[in-house]
Amino acid sequence: MTGPGHKLRAVWALGLLPLLIAAGDGACRLCKPTDVTEQPSAEREIPLSIEITTRLDFSRAALSGSGGGQIEVDPQSGSRRVDGGIVDLGGSALAGTAVVHGMPGRAVRIDMPPSARMTSSTGGVVEITGLRTSLSGSPRLDPTGRLEFSFGGRLQLRGNASGTFRARIPITAQYE
């Protein structure tokens, strides 16, 4: 079986092999399921996340009478100011700090309530008013997708509330 017809058939079979392979690739592309809602990875929006890195702390104080008073922690400088019938018992007051992570360069809006109620384990209630952040203008995430800011406010003390007070202050972030 070494005649000229046998050689022709072998060449013909080898000649079709590249076409069969190419046809196989084309069929796979046609049969491959696609998701029309999928976006390229560069365009996918990264969800925003907020991490509180330092809790707002008004430090230690006492009321000298029944008149009340306030302790203010400035979000820009972190400094504390005591007014009214408050006696400063020392310690460090701290502005709260937070870090937002998301899409690099995107503008964000940070929201927090203007006030919050703090409670103690003994049932005492005090209020934080004038809650604000150190952000100004239109804040944007940096090239690494990060935005750090601080927050502060005024702790209003009235009556005979005592104890260690705690509160959860909801801070939200969203893309503009």
Based on the fold, state whether residues 74 and 131 are members of the same structural domain.
Answer: yes
For the segment 70-115, what is each residue's pLDDT rounded down to a tens digit?
999 999 999 999 999 898 898 899 999 999 999 999 999 999 999 9
Based on the fold, state whether residues 29 and 105 are members of the same structural domain.
Answer: no
Please tell me the total count of domains within the chain. Answer: 2
Based on the fold, state whether residues 68 and 137 are members of the same structural domain.
Answer: yes
pLDDT value at 12 more than 70: no
Q: What is the pLDDT of residue 42?
A: 54
For the segment 127-165, what is each residue's pLDDT rounded down to a tens digit?
999 999 999 999 999 999 999 999 999 999 887 778 889
Based on the fold, state whether residues 28 and 52 are members of the same structural domain.
Answer: no
Domain that holds residue 8: 1-33
Residue 162 lies in a domain: yes
More confident residue, 6 or 175: 175
Residue 67 pLDDT level (bands cut at 50, 70, 90): confident
SS (H, E, C) the chain: CCCHHHHHHHHHHHHHHHHHHHHHHHHHHHHCCCCCCCCCHHHCCCCCEEEEEECCECCCEEECCCCCEEEEECCCCCCEEEEECEEECCCCCECEEEEEECCCCCEEEEECCCCEEEEECCCCEEEEEEEEECCCCCCECCCCCEEEEEEEEEEEECCCCCCCEECCCCCEEEEC
Residue 21 pLDDT level (bands cut at 50, 70, 90): very low
Based on the fold, state whether residues 72 and 22 are members of the same structural domain.
Answer: no
Tokens 């084309």, residue located: 26
Q: What is the CATH number of the domain that holds 74?
A: 2.60.40
Residue 38 lies in a domain: no
